[in-house]
Amino acid sequence: MIGDGGPMEGTAINVAEFFAGIGLVRTALEPLGVNVVWANDIKEAKFDAYLANYPDAREHFKVRDIRLVKGESLPEGIELATSSFPCIDLSLAGNRVGLGGTQSGMFWQFARVIKELPKKPRVVLLENVHGFATSHGGKDLADALHCLSGLGYSLDVLSVDARHFVPQSRPRMFIVGIDKEDLPKNAHVGVPEVSKARPAWVTAIHKAHHESIAMHYLDLPALPDGPSDLNGVVEHDVSSAAWWDERRVKAFVDSLSDGQLARFEALRSANALSIRTAYRRTRKGVSMWELRRDAIAGCLRTTGGGSSKQALVELGYTREPRIRWMTPREYANLMGATEYKLLAGTPNQQMFGFGDAVVVDVVRWIGEHYLLPVLRPDNAAGDEEPAEAE
């Protein structure tokens, strides 16, 4: 049957936050009326960061391997379950062993816990990298969709790049599952039209599966354009000691390819100050630096070493270039967590936490335009123009 919003309109939306990390899903959704009643992650350092921002987490955050979590141990009345399960086995930069891997395979443990709950959540929201869609030729995603459908959910797939909200290129895919017996009246069946939130590869997923499992889609507003530079996120009062010395800057320049060096010199000689980000890459076995072509950041990564950290480069007016590592606060700003307190952990642990998190603005956009209209239609914003097909 078609749901009418359920019996709990006007009350808080109780949420279980699986693979909670440092809590940016909570940061995104709490202003919309979400109440996190249970959270879980395996890393103590992430819990410390979460706790520093949400002191009540001591009561509901379980630092525990999800394989040891039993559904009956979760509180009753959970309406939404979120899951940003590990991406390393699905990422194009990872080992690509897929859902059979020890990390990304934790998806199956999330599904098991949901199955064990006395009453399943009305909605589930999963987030991962685009590589999920192509892992093992699409079989891993198909298996996950069939699993979630078997738990009683109708499914929708979205793709949102964080660059629509923050100056960071960070494309991620989302799966929204709604209880098949509680689909809103405005849910559509069939294949959605191509849009920025549902590019052609996403509509192909709908086309491939909508006849074999329950799938739906909701109309969504157009994604915003997003910022075009880093001015709003960069710290301008960083200590002079943070900037690299002449020897280190020279090593950076010497590592650039001919094409990269031409880009570097063009920016350095321009009559304007440019701020660019750079990553170390390995090309034909050689480590070298590469500047981004545009003026936003590359996708933040978990900081396990120097090659995973992003550098900030200031160029212009033919003066000597300035280069330094990005700071934890800049990482936080790039993740939309501008008010997040950096009180726990080392700088590397803080950057690791942000590199492994969701972008606040992206999840809040999904919350405002998808989750809230489903779970609390009376509290949702007024009707908005749907995105046009592109």
The confidence score (pLDDT) of residue 308 equals 76
Question: Residue 373, Cβ neighbours under 10 Å: how many?
Answer: 20
Contact between residue 41 and residue 47 where contact means Cβ atoms under 8 Å apart: yes
Q: Closest Cα partner for 156 from 204, 200, 212, 216?
A: 216
Q: In which residue are the tokens 């298996």 written?
A: 143
The confidence score (pLDDT) of residue 89 equals 65
Could you give the angle at which helices 347-355 and 44-53 cross, rounded to 10 degrees?
90
Q: In which residue are the tokens 């109780």 written?
A: 14
The confidence score (pLDDT) of residue 91 equals 64
The confidence score (pLDDT) of residue 378 equals 85
Contact between residue 295 and residue 267 where contact means Cβ atoms under 8 Å apart: no
Q: Closest Cα partner for 21 from 370, 340, 366, 367?
A: 340
Backbone angles phi, psi at 139, to 5 degrees: -65, -40
Q: In which residue are the tokens 């950057």 written?
A: 351
Q: In which residue are the tokens 């996120």 written?
A: 233
Question: Residue 38, Cβ neighbours under 10 Å: how many?
Answer: 20
Question: How far apart are alpha carbons 354 and 25 in whole angstroms?
Answer: 12
Q: Output the tens digit of pLDDT for each of the chain's 390 residues.
A: 223 344 445 699 999 999 999 999 999 999 999 999 999 999 999 999 999 999 999 999 999 999 999 999 999 999 999 998 877 767 655 556 777 777 777 898 999 999 999 999 999 999 998 988 888 888 889 999 999 999 999 999 999 999 999 999 999 999 999 999 999 999 999 999 999 999 999 999 999 999 999 999 999 999 999 999 999 999 999 999 999 999 999 999 999 999 999 999 999 999 999 999 999 988 888 889 999 999 999 999 886 544 578 999 999 998 899 999 999 999 999 999 999 999 999 999 999 999 999 999 999 999 999 999 999 998 776 544 555 444
Torsion of CA 202, 205, 206, 207, to 10 degrees: 120
| Identity of the amino acid at 194 | V
Helix (H) or strand (E) holding 283: strand 274-283
Domain boundaries, the chain: 13-225+357-375, 240-326
Which CATH entry fits the domain spanning 13-225+357-375: 1.10.1370.30, 3.40.50.150, 3.30.1360.40, 3.50.50.60? 3.40.50.150
The confidence score (pLDDT) of residue 2 equals 29
The confidence score (pLDDT) of residue 95 equals 56
pTM, two decimal places: 0.92
Decide the pairing of beta strands 171-179 and 274-283.
unpaired
Q: Closest Cα partner for 275 from 242, 331, 218, 235?
A: 235
The confidence score (pLDDT) of residue 333 equals 98
